[in-house]
Amino acid sequence: MIKKDYKDVVEEDVTMYESKNTTIQWLLTKEDGARRFAMRRFKILPGGVIGFHSHPEEHEIFVLKGEGTLIDDNANDVPVKEGDVIFIAPFESHGYKNESSDEFVFLCVIPYLS
């Protein structure tokens, strides 16, 4: 078993997909022995975004704090809030934005593809 405090995990800036004011923490990875899935914590500050994109791995998301907007495959805005659970299928285009005045924080679990 591995137990960590998320505050001890390095918080890195997200730069892919024209993202801004967003950080990621890789909470559980292959280095921890997690062979099939990675658990990540994202924090999007007010005005922050993760640009519209797609990729082969699914996303399983749980919103921990705040309110945000997910952009779906048809470029529609989908409001999400604390406690919401979201599934994004492989190759489904998506993006994120925080238009609120508070942090938008969520966990995102992805499978390793190799």
DSSP 39-60: EEEEEEEEEEEEEEE--SS-EE
**Structure confidence by residue, pLDDT tens digits, 79-94:** 999 999 999 999 999 9
Write down the pTM of the prediction.
Answer: 0.95
Number of domains in the chain: 1
**Token couple for 70:** 């997910």
Question: CATH number of the domain that 107 lies in?
Answer: 2.60.120.10
On whether the CB atoms of residues 31 and 76 are closer than 8 A, the answer is no
**Cα–Cα distance, 11 to 48 (Å, whole number):** 15
Whether 1 is in a domain gets the answer no
Whether 72 is in a domain gets the answer yes
**Structure confidence by residue, pLDDT tens digits, 100-113:** 999 999 999 999 98
| Residue 114 clears pLDDT 80, i.e. is over it | no
Whether 82 is in a domain gets the answer yes
Domain that holds residue 60: 9-111
Whether 2 is in a domain gets the answer no
Whether 4 is in a domain gets the answer no
Whether 97 is in a domain gets the answer yes
Whether 3 is in a domain gets the answer no
pLDDT of residue 65: 98
